[in-house]
Structure 1
Amino acid sequence: ERKVDRVHIADTVGAITPQGMEYLIKELRKDIKIDINLHCHNDFGMAQQNAISGLLAGANIVETTINGIGERAGNTPLEELIMSLKVLYGIDLEFNTELIKKISKTVEMYTKIEIPFNKPIVGKNIFKHESGIHVDGVIKNPFTYEPFSPKIVGQERNLVLGKHSGSKAIKSKLNQFGIKIKENKIPEILKIVKETSENGNIINDNILKEIVEKI
């Protein structure tokens, strides 16, 4: 006698909606007590939300991939699912989240599939701040512009200097280097930073130090 221990729900072309997934799983749960496994595709950018809707409705297994890689638009990204459940829903899956970035980069290295710079959780721009008001806000209270600490997922905050920067970003960078400079010199440094970046130049740490030395 064969025994069924799992029902597998495959949204093969990613066409179900979160509401549809919720309804489907709730209806299934009325009649079955065994595991419900979800396999979501990301053709409409909703794989993760469909997975979460299914879990909240009673499913208990989700198939995921690191960085969301998979056929066509990919599958439910493991790192996004882990952090969404942890931060937004208070559901801790007990993963060591500090290794998320490292694992993501390892998969990128071996698959040769580049991580988009703006990819949630692991993208290099996720904790990048340039705008003066953003830098000021994140220095005063990180949660102003960051939903969780970068360290939780093995990332680091990156305060970038450019044409949108303000004086707080300059001060923060100088403090980072242990450079002390008179307050009245900050506007002059900021002006040079803005002018330099307007020409398409990247203001890295070495260029900033060169600017300071000339003041």
Structure 2
Amino acid sequence: MYLCDVTLREGDQMPGRNYTEAQKVAAGRALDRLGVDAIQPGFPVTGEKDVRVTRTLADECEADVVALARAVSGDVDAALDAEADVVEVFGALSSLQLEHALGTDRETMFERFDAAIERVRDGGATPHLTLVDAFRTEREHLVAAFERYPDLPMVTLADTVGVRTPASLRHDLTALGEGVDLARVGVHLHDDLGCATANALVAHEVGVGKADVSVASLGERAGNPAVEEVVIAGVLEYGESFGVTAADLVPACRTVLAALEESVPPRKAILGSEVMEHESGIHTAAMLREPRTFEPFDPGAFGAERRLVFGAGTGRSGARQLLERAGADADEETVAAYLDRLAAEGPLDTEEAVDLARREFAS
């Protein structure tokens, strides 16, 4: 399964966001250095900014640069003008969307797909197709799309409103795989039920060819599968980094967030400022001996750092180890005095705590 990063397009659609051209280009370059296979920087028909960003990244990046387009000629022409490598045509086949969002019938939608895909090919780009609200679309209509376009390298199924859980997604994809080559299937998932990353991993397990991801889940509503979560879970669970340079993962994601002037909550998985920080006396004492005791993975493997914090909550065992690292005596009297100093001066990180022990208690 390869990854298409949609941070720049999905993030820019969040309320109150209007990333500049420079921001999107800088973030796109960081994503390309990370090694994702494809980057979707925008929706060119919405304006010259996305046209210029797409053109710049398509010229510079090793990743395929993907432009979004509705199945209408103006959208396709804008994507082609932006010189995208891939034009991802999208539309719906679900009865709900056809009736209430598009006001058309299924055969007319297929005819629009036909024309748009042909226009992409004539323009020299690679066409992909995304089916909106695919997981509330009758399976027979999904199969019909794959059969109608046997030469399309990728047909992405969008869980547009984020209704699928891992169990239901596995059921749907496994059933679809009875008649469709899942290597041609992509998934575009949303996190409305908090299942997006888990769903992306299920898609990988059943053999899906592509998943859309975004840094820190930036995207409409609850966002998309977080690239950092998908990659780290992939490495731990399957020994698979999905083509990404794992050691650069966290720094690259932080570069993207900085470029876009986005922040994440301190308890956000992987990227939050507090998730690799430990202060509990029991935890820190054990982690001074063996960090794996209270860590799911080595942060350094993904370009991050753990932070052990020492202060009022530090216990005698942890204090003793810090004193020993500093070359100080670790008798009961010294440990007690050191704990008092940690309580007064903390919280301190490991280097600061050892330095305090060395200054005050080493002979």
Q: TM-score, normalised by structure 1?
A: 0.84
When the two structures are aligned, how many residues end up with a matched partner? 209
CA distance in 2, matches of 1:123, 1:64: 18
Give the aligned partner of residue 20 of structure 1: 168
Higher strand share: 2
What CA deviation, in whole Å up to 9, does each residue of 1:118-176 have, x standing for no partner?
22223222221111111122223222111211110111121101332123444555567
CA distance in 2, matches of 1:151, 1:139: 16
| Percent identical | 26
2:179 to 31, 45, 48: 31
Whether 1:138 aligns to 2:295 is no
CA distance in 2, matches of 1:96, 1:174: 38
Give the aligned partner of residue 149 of structure 1: 298
Distance change >3 Å, CA 69–CA 127, structure 1 → 2: same
Distance change >3 Å, CA 171–CA 134, structure 1 → 2: same
**Secondary structure in structure 2 of the residue aligned to 1:160:** strand
CA distance in 2, matches of 1:111, 1:172: 42
Structure 2 residue identity aligned to 1:107: V
Judge conservation of contact 1:35–1:60 (CA < 8 Å) in 2.
yes
Give the aligned partner of residue 51 of structure 2: none
Distance change >3 Å, CA 6–CA 213, structure 1 → 2: closer
Deviation, 1:103, is 0.8
**Secondary structure in structure 2 of the residue aligned to 1:106:** helix
Deviation, 1:202, is 4.0
Distance change >3 Å, CA 141–CA 122, structure 1 → 2: same
Matches within 5 A, 1:85-100: 85-100=234-249
Q: Which runs of 5+ in 2 are unaligned?
A: 1-117, 119-148
Q: Which runs of 5+ in 1 are unaligned?
A: none
2:329 to 182, 187, 192: 182
**Secondary structure in structure 2 of the residue aligned to 1:21:** helix
**Secondary structure in structure 2 of the residue aligned to 1:139:** helix
1:82 to 231, 234, 248: 231
Larger Rg: 2
- Which of structures 1 and 2 has the larger relative contact order (alpha carbons within 8 angstroms, sep 6+)? 2
CA distance in 2, matches of 1:210, 1:154: 28
Give the aligned partner of residue 266 of structure 2: 117
Whether 1:5 aligns to 2:153 is yes
CA distance in 1, matches of 2:195, 2:169: 11
Q: TM-score, normalised by structure 2?
A: 0.52
Judge conservation of contact 2:247–2:300 (CA < 8 Å) in 1.
yes
